[in-house]
A and B are shown apart, each in its own frame.
Chain A
Amino acid sequence: MADPDGGPADVGDLFDRYGAELRRYCAGRVGASLAEDIVAETFLIVYERRERLGDGPVRAWLYGIATNLLHRHRRTEVRALRALARTGRDPLVADVAERAVHRADAAVLWRRLAGVLASLPERQRDVLLLFAVAQLDYDTIARTLGIPLGSVQSALFRARGKVRAALAEGEA
């Protein structure tokens, strides 16, 4: 496995470079506890298969594997979003952070937004969160998910349209 920015990396180097952002992305989808399992498994899969993966963008490999592993927990993800939309309480957020949300008087917005995220088709949710949370560019998202660039653009366009509509609804 070659690192695009340097020579072969060991798993510790890989983690130092990408671990924090990958954990942030996974935790944003399924919560901190499950994210630890997923991130750990992702790095181990990449490392174990480093000879088979060949040269390529490591970041896309990491996010691609992590996203595949996240799909195992899509019920957890969607159930939590639905719970947030229904009750205003996010089961994946620690109480302290949740209180901060209420202080900011943003609960209504979060509920509406969570409802939109829960209703998105899996592909659109993947693309939106890889773009908005992981802040990957179109090309890297295409490589991450193994889909054409045009599919990334159209999925993102549709997903953002729904999010914007939800935000606009709150202002109406």
Chain B
Amino acid sequence: MGSDDRDLLAVRALVGQRAEAGPGDLARLRARVVAGAPRRRARWVAPVAAGVVALVLAGGIGLALRRGDAQPEPVAPTPRPSLSLGPTVDAAAAFAQLERGAAGTAPVLPKPHQLLRVREDMLVTAGGPDSDVLMPQLHVSWYEPEGMILVREEYDGVALSGPKGQSQAEQAAEERADFAAVGAGMRHPTPGWLASLGPDPDTVREVAQQQWGDLTNLMYRVDPLLPAMARAGLLRLMAAGGGVAVSEVTFDGRRVFGLRYGEGPSAAVLLLDPGTAHVVGRLQVDYRGAGRIQEQRLTTYEFVAA
């Protein structure tokens, strides 16, 4: 397979337009690298600070806070426990246990003006298949529960900004417009839409199009919002599709189930609490040999004030 085939040339041309460098761009970047310029900069800080000052001067600070423009409480990092992959267990028995656990759960419904905060304590490989170098990262996202609109996202305490310095508020506005256009569904789940799924796997299958990734991603995104019946329906659909391997995964003396689809040498693994079927996290695992965790995310969900 050559690297100059027509499809590759088209991809290269498309993204190549974005990569054009102006005079001095590379030299400036080199100087920044060599000088050890600040590793992380938050370009949202200046515009947000300026905006806050302007709002105070205009007497509009109260309105801004109600709109959710305030900065959420910072999240402190915690030590990251190391996970270990255990043996494969009987999948049917594991799903039965998860369904029993799901039956005892209830969705946590947000209060007005609350955001869903999803915190992922991560360990990520630095690159290379033989490396044991892991980069710790803390990833925190805040969502409006109606439509799961991402309103803020941080890595290691630094907010991300758009490619041209757009604020996260501007990006959230784009997502709200998309939600308004397409309505509730897989892309923009709402508590009401989730409640409509019910326990019937066929109903869930219809909306999820029976894709393993769609099912696990949905469960991962909206975990605390899932009604018991919908959680059970998702689990039944996962089990009905076949091809799912369930392993024991342990950390901090805790035992959870890891659900993996397919027999590929590398796979995503969804971690669920066997007692409640709630999401605990997810992994990317290289299954060659004894199995090696390439990326781990331990995930917690909490509703917080906007």
Q: Report which A residues bind B (CB closer than 8 A).
A: 11-12, 15-16, 19-20, 23-25, 27-37, 39-41, 43-45, 49, 52-54, 56-57, 60-65, 67-68, 72-73, 75-76, 79-80, 90-94, 97-98, 100-101, 109-110, 113-114, 117, 121, 128-129, 131-133, 135, 142-148, 150-151, 156, 160, 163-164, 167
**A44-B39, A97-B17, A101-B17 known; A129-B33 Cβ under 8 A:** no
| Closest 7 pairs between A and B when the two form their complex, measured CB to CB | A64-B127, A28-B15, A31-B163, A27-B19, A132-B11, A132-B8, A24-B19
Q: In the bound complex, do residue A132 and residue B3 qualify as a contact, i.e. CB atoms below 8 Å apart?
A: yes
From residue B100, how far is it (CB to closest CB) to chain A in Å?
32
What is the predominant secondary structure among interface residues of chain B facing chain A?
mixed
Indicate whether B290 reaches chain A with its CB closer than 8 angstroms.
Answer: no
**A36-B29, A64-B126 known; A90-B131 Cβ under 8 A:** no
From residue A55, how far is it (CB to closest CB) to chain B in Å?
10
Number of A-B contacts (CB under 8 A): 191
Other-chain contact of B174, A12, A45, A73, A79 (Cβ < 8 Å): A79
Contact stretch, chosen from B20-28, B87-95, B225-233, B239-247: B20-28
Q: In the bound complex, do residue A12 and residue B34 qualify as a contact, i.e. CB atoms below 8 Å apart?
A: yes
Q: In the bound complex, do residue A20 and residue B11 qualify as a contact, i.e. CB atoms below 8 Å apart?
A: no
- A93 partner residues in chain B, CB cutoff 8 A: 17-18
Q: Report which B residues bind A (CB closer than 8 A).
A: 1, 3, 5-8, 10-12, 14-21, 25-26, 29-30, 32-34, 36-37, 39-41, 124-131, 133, 135, 139, 150, 153, 155, 160, 162-165, 171, 174, 213, 264-266, 286, 288, 294
* Sample (29) of A-B pairs whose CB atoms are under 8 Å apart: A12-B34, A27-B21, A28-B19, A30-B163, A32-B20, A32-B21, A39-B29, A39-B33, A40-B32, A40-B37, A44-B39, A49-B133, A56-B128, A56-B131, A68-B125, A76-B163, A90-B17, A90-B18, A94-B20, A98-B17, A100-B17, A101-B17, A109-B10, A114-B14, A133-B12, A133-B15, A133-B16, A147-B266, A151-B266
From residue B23, how far is it (CB to closest CB) to chain A in Å?
13
**A97-B20, A147-B286, A148-B288 known; A142-B129 Cβ under 8 A:** yes
- A146 partner residues in chain B, CB cutoff 8 A: 125, 127-129, 131, 286, 294
Other-chain contact of B39, A32, A36, A41, A97 (Cβ < 8 Å): A41
